[in-house]
Amino acid sequence: MPDLTDAASLQQAVRRCIAQTNITDIHTHLFPPSHGGLMLWGIDDLLTYHYLVAELFMVAPRSLTPEKFWAMPKTTQADLVWKHVFIEGGALSEVAGGVVTTLNLLGLDAGPRDLAAIRKWYAAQSANAYLTRVFEQTRIDYAVMTNDPFKAEEVKHWKTSSSLRPVPEFLKTALRIDTMIVDWPGACRLLQAQGYDAQPAGGSVSFAEARRFLLDWAKILKPTYLAASLPPTFIYPEGTTAPQVVQNVVVPVAMELGVPLAMMIGVRRGVNPPLRDGGDGLGVADVRAVENLCRDFPGAKFIVTMLARANQHELTVLGRKFRNLHVEGCWWFCNNASIIEEMTRMRVELLGTAFTLQHSDARVLDQVIYKWAHAKRIAEKVLVERYTKLFNDGWRPTESEIARDIRNLFGGSFKTFLAK
Ligand code: RAT
Ligand code: ZN
């Protein structure tokens, strides 16, 4: 590898390393083909993504109500998004632009705006081959799914014999446990139905049963981590059931399994319920909940992302204080170019490469294509600037060092954290 002797060759090397880096996508909602209809892919799933459904209702005529929309077949819903958000709305938002990026990188021309032709192209793909193609094209070594034992439609796919559920190696599992933390009585009902004696009043027997439930699921899933999305009101250690469940059930199970607890904090569910998933909002959370957990459980590991822009600086500073905290991703409403850039710049300045730059949160397979393409564009901007500054000040990074650093930001640091 030639020495990088001038700023221009250094910048080319940064671009090359970003283009060629492997990616570990640490949080997605993808499913394998063996999970049937849960696996979403193709143009109609892309267009009916809940981020775009929310955008449709910002611009659609009042006569289109959510009730009418949900009663329509998916292709009609997709037609409406195409018409109002793309053709008439200009496709300028991050997520609309993401569909265009995706089509472009698949070699489909969005220029003629020919939805029928795009559908025809997709109709010729098979789920398995397309899954492999998308992962290879995006250079994802593996993606972590979200596997929720509280959702019957998911449970049935795991409660079959393992030979009937071939999950590709490049899809890893995460044991999702929101329900247990945010709705303990609801979780107890479900646990009781499955033969676990957990009671809404809590207590040591109930918590032991809840631990047994999670450990039983861990045997099936072999999760990379335990995961929960939490509201901005989540606090620790004060409060009612949620901190007790975290303290007595979730953290002990994570420690027993030797896996991190991933917390995504700041979502306000059902701000506008008729929009379904598109109706969730955000709120500023109390970062001290994370601080207290990291301090009280030095033997546990926490992966954290937060939804409110206002929480990002405090969380990043916390990332410097606790070696058992891994900061990651620009989540959902932070997954916009301007905010990703601001967050990435700040995190590199404060954390070096000891964080994970992004997760895709893809619900639809194809979304990994644009989410990572967009993340890479921003990484390039930020890192070219950082390396150029270093170079001009006399530091001489080699191309393999640059490749190492970039891999760390795109999943290497996450793997190091898992192995810690
Ligand atoms: O980004 C999303 O699609 C959200 O609906 C949520 O799924 C969120 O990412 C979560 O995991 O709770
Ligand atoms: Zn998610």
Q: What phi and psi values does residue 345 have, to the nearest 5 degrees?
A: -55, -50
Position 2 pLDDT exceeds 70 = no
**DSSP SS3 for 143:** strand
Distance, CA of 132 to CA of 368 (rounded, Å): 12
**DSSP SS3 for 108:** coil
Q: Could you tell me the two tokens for 42?
A: 């193709």
Q: Please state the rounded mean pLDDT for residues 390-409.
A: 97
pLDDT digits (tens, 9 = 90+) for 124-168: 999 999 999 999 999 999 999 999 999 999 999 998 777 667 899
Q: Please state the rounded mean pLDDT for residues 173-182.
A: 98
Distance, CA of 282 to CA of 333 (rounded, Å): 8
* Alpha-helix residue ranges (DSSP H) falling in 297-366: 312-321, 337-351
Q: Which residues of 290-299 are buried (b: 16+ CB within 10 A; e: fewer)?
A: bbbbbeebee
Q: Which ligand is nearest to the CA of 332?
A: 1
Q: What is the Å distance from ligand 1's center to 401 Cα?
A: 34
Pocket residue to mutate for ligand 1, from 229, 269, 336, most atoms within 8 A of Cβ: 229
Position 49 pLDDT exceeds 90 = yes
pLDDT digits (tens, 9 = 90+) for 62-110: 999 999 999 999 999 999 999 999 999 999 999 999 999 999 999 999 9
Pocket residue to mutate for ligand 1, from 26, 29, 282, 359, most atoms within 8 A of Cβ: 29
Strands 267-268 and 261-265: unpaired
Name the DSSP class of 394.
T
Q: What is the pLDDT of residue 399?
A: 97
pLDDT digits (tens, 9 = 90+) for 300-353: 999 999 999 999 999 999 999 999 999 999 999 999 999 999 999 999 999 999
- Which of ligand 1's atoms lies nearest the C-alpha of 363? 3
- Residue 304 gets the label, from left (phi > 0), alpha (psi -120 to 50) or beta, of beta
Q: Please state the rounded mean pLDDT for residues 6-32.
A: 98
- Amino acid (one-letter) located at 64: L
Q: Which residues of 134-146 are buried (b: 16+ CB within 10 A; e: fewer)?
A: bbeebebebbbbb
Q: What is the Å distance from ligand 2's center to 29 Cα?
A: 6
The CA radius of gyration of the chain, in Å to the nearest whole number, is 22
Q: What residues contact residue 318 under an 8 Å CB cut-off, 6+ apart?
A: 287, 290, 291, 294, 325, 327
Distance, CA of 119 to CA of 188 (rounded, Å): 44
The whole model's pTM is what?
A: 0.98
- Which of ligand 1's atoms lies nearest the C-alpha of 267? 12
pLDDT digits (tens, 9 = 90+) for 189-239: 999 999 999 999 999 999 999 999 999 999 999 999 999 999 999 999 997
Q: What is the Å distance from ligand 1's center to 51 Cα?
A: 10
Residue with tokens 């506008």: 272
Tell me which residues have their CB closer than 6 angstroms to ligand 1: 29, 146, 229, 264, 267, 277, 332, 361, 363
- Amino acid (one-letter) located at 264: M
Instruction: State the average pLDDT for the chain.
Output: 97
Q: Please state the rounded mean pLDDT for residues 182-194.
A: 97
Q: What is the pLDDT of residue 416?
A: 98
Q: Report which of 57, 60, 52, 136 is spatially closest to residue 100, judged by C-alpha positions.
A: 52
Q: What is the Å distance from ligand 2's center to 1 Cα?
A: 39
Q: What is the Å distance from ligand 2's center to 316 Cα?
A: 20
Q: What is the pLDDT of residue 127?
A: 96
